[in-house]
Amino acid sequence: MQQKQMNVELRSKTGKSISRQLRGSDMVPAVVYGKGMDPIAVSIKYRDLQGVLTGDGGQNNLITLIGGGSLDQCMAIIADLQRDAVKGTYRHVDLHRINMNEKLRLTVPVVLKGAAVGVKEGGLLDLAHHELHVECLPGNIPDRIEIDITDLKIAHSIHVNEIPLPDGVKVLDNPGTPVVSILGRAKEEAAAEA
């Protein structure tokens, strides 16, 4: 997890036409909300938002807000990011102001490491879950959850409860859920033996 900074500007006007005007001037309309506060409408420079989203962590990066009156130096995380369906450009962002001492619930991408033995033997790799739901303090948010599949054989799986986790991170998904499996030749071999 990386900590990044992002400039925000307060805005008093809201609505579709204002949002269109902001997007036309390379700004992204956004709202900051959080526990014990009223939502605050802000705007963000498009390139600043891109900078926050690049690299490891993506939407899970901790962001220090710069400017924005009472929001200056607050910590936030991206709660929702809307994109244009055709162009892929950012249309709107919801930022969640966070307390560094309160746990968050979010999704973290799964990354596979190694080449599975079962794939080398002709099996098919099946990644059932590309991300996991976790709970942790903001300072413990992992960029990703790595799973070593080197020893994974045909007809075997790695389940949620078998994944090594960083300190302070708890997975909220069902512990018995298979995350990655090797499918394949086991059925064919059984048929040939019969």
The tens digit of pLDDT for each residue in 77-129 reads 999 999 989 988 899 999 999 999 999 999 999 999 999 999 999 999 999 99
Measure Cα distances from 113 to 29, 138, 144, 150, 155 in Å: 38, 25, 12, 7, 19
Closest to 165 (Cα-Cα) out of 137, 149, 146: 146
Both tokens assigned to 164: 């090594």
User: For the domain that residue 85 is a member of, what is the CATH number?
Assistant: 2.40.240.10
The pLDDT value recorded for residue 194 is: 52
As beta bridge partners, residue 159 has: 178
Are 110 and 163 contained in the same domain? yes
Could you tell me if 54 and 79 lie in one domain? yes
Number of domains in the chain: 2
Listed residues 97, 129, 164: the one ending a domain = 97
Mapped onto helix, strand or coil, the DSSP state of residue 152 is coil
Token output for 47: 């390139």
Question: pTM for this structure?
Answer: 0.79
Round to whole Å and give the CA distance between 167 and 153.
Answer: 28
Give the separation between CA 157 and CA 152, rounded to whole angstroms. Answer: 7
Q: Based on the domain organization, do 79 and 153 belong to the same domain?
A: no
Partnered with residue 6 across adjacent β-strands are 65
* HSE, side-chain direction, 13 A CA sphere, residue 183: 8
Residue with tokens 């879950």: 129
- Give me the pLDDT at residue 191, please: 54
3-state secondary structure of 129: coil
pLDDT of residue 15: 83
Q: What is the pLDDT along the chain (194 residues), one digit of tens a residue?
A: 668 899 999 998 888 888 888 888 999 999 999 988 999 999 999 999 998 888 777 788 899 999 988 899 999 999 999 998 998 889 999 999 999 999 999 999 999 999 999 999 999 999 999 999 999 999 999 989 999 999 999 999 999 999 999 999 999 999 999 999 999 864 555 555 55
Q: Which helix (H) or strand (E) holds 66?
A: strand 62-66
| Inter-residue contact 2 to 143 (CB < 8 Å) | yes
Domain endpoint, select from 97, 125, 142: 97
Residue 161: domain span: 104-193
- Taken in order 119, 125, 130, 133, is the CA torsion positive or negative? negative
Amino acid 24: pLDDT: 87
Listing DSSP states for 81-124 in one string gives EEE-TTT--EEEEEEEE--TTS-EEEEEEEEEES--HHHHTT-E
Whether residues 7 and 93 share a domain: the answer is: yes
